[in-house]
Amino acid sequence: MNKAEELKNFSMKFSRQTEKEQEQFSEIVNKLLRCNYLCRDNPSDRSHYFDALIIREDMRAYLSIIDTDIIIDELNGVIGLKVNGESSHHRLRLRETIILLCLRKLFFIKKQSVSMIDTIAVTLEEIMQELLNTGYFEKGVGKTEFETTLRKLKSYHLIDYSFTQSPDVIILWPSLLHAVNANTLEEIQKKLDVYKDNMEVDDENTEEDKAD
């Protein structure tokens, strides 16, 4: 079936939905396109996550038209997008990707000592130490750069924090499992080593899922 036929079939099905169903569909799809992930345990995502499970096939049909697939990970409570085989259409700079990989590494380590239902959290001190361990941030991490990166990762629903309520705590969402494809600590470290060995300029761009 070509894209014109897919679009026609989807449009016919969509037109038979109620106005409320259409609004719900648009709201969820637009949120996913903006944030890339919905996390069951994230209070801001919870209702959208369960609604998305119900309409997953309609979403899959629509997203296939724009060469995008939907990731359904009910075990870890994550729904995400995969664009043309890649796990994100969002882009990160090189240093941001290093920070992402360090967060993925910390998620892996913390996950070994908690249950499936526990929320994983780390301190800013733990993150900073992990960044220093890479050898890339020998001169330290600038406060502005660090905070900007955290805000970006929060907007993609990879992490969460509230510096007004818990100034030293960062929540790591399981969407990190899909942002960085790695099954072992060694695989994550290998990705870090590759970025460290090949970095040339700070403003080099790389896709978030290039950490895969």
The pLDDT value given to residue 86: 61
The pLDDT value given to residue 94: 86
- Please state, in angstroms and rounded to a whole number, the distance separating the CA atoms of residues 13 and 19: 13
Domains recognised in the chain with CATH numbers: 3-83 (no CATH), 91-211 (1.10.10.10)
- Please state, in angstroms and rounded to a whole number, the distance separating the CA atoms of residues 107 and 163: 20
Could you say which DSSP state residue 188 is in? H
- Count the alpha carbons within 13 Å of 144 in the hemisphere toward its beta carbon: 0
**Left if phi > 0, otherwise alpha if psi is -120 to 50, otherwise beta: which for 57?**
alpha
The pLDDT value given to residue 167: 72
Mean pLDDT for the chain overall: 87
* Both tokens assigned to 101: 């990989």
Q: Which helix (H) or strand (E) holds 125?
A: helix 124-133
Query: Contact, 70 vs 79, CB < 8 A?
Result: yes
**Left if phi > 0, otherwise alpha if psi is -120 to 50, otherwise beta: which for 204?**
beta
The pLDDT value given to residue 200: 47
User: b/e for 95-104, b at 16 or more Cβ within 10 A?
Assistant: bbbbbbbbbb
Query: Contact, 56 vs 63, CB < 8 A?
Result: no
Query: Contact, 69 vs 78, CB < 8 A?
Result: no
Q: Given CA atoms 22, 25, 31, 36 in this order, what sign does their dihedral have?
A: negative
pTM of the complete model: 0.85
The pLDDT value given to residue 135: 85
| Local mean pLDDT, 10-residue blocks, the chain (212 residues) | 82 92 96 96 97 95 91 97 70 89 96 81 94 84 90 96 82 96 92 74 46 57
The pLDDT value given to residue 20: 95
**Left if phi > 0, otherwise alpha if psi is -120 to 50, otherwise beta: which for 37?**
beta
Query: Contact, 95 vs 202, CB < 8 A?
Result: yes
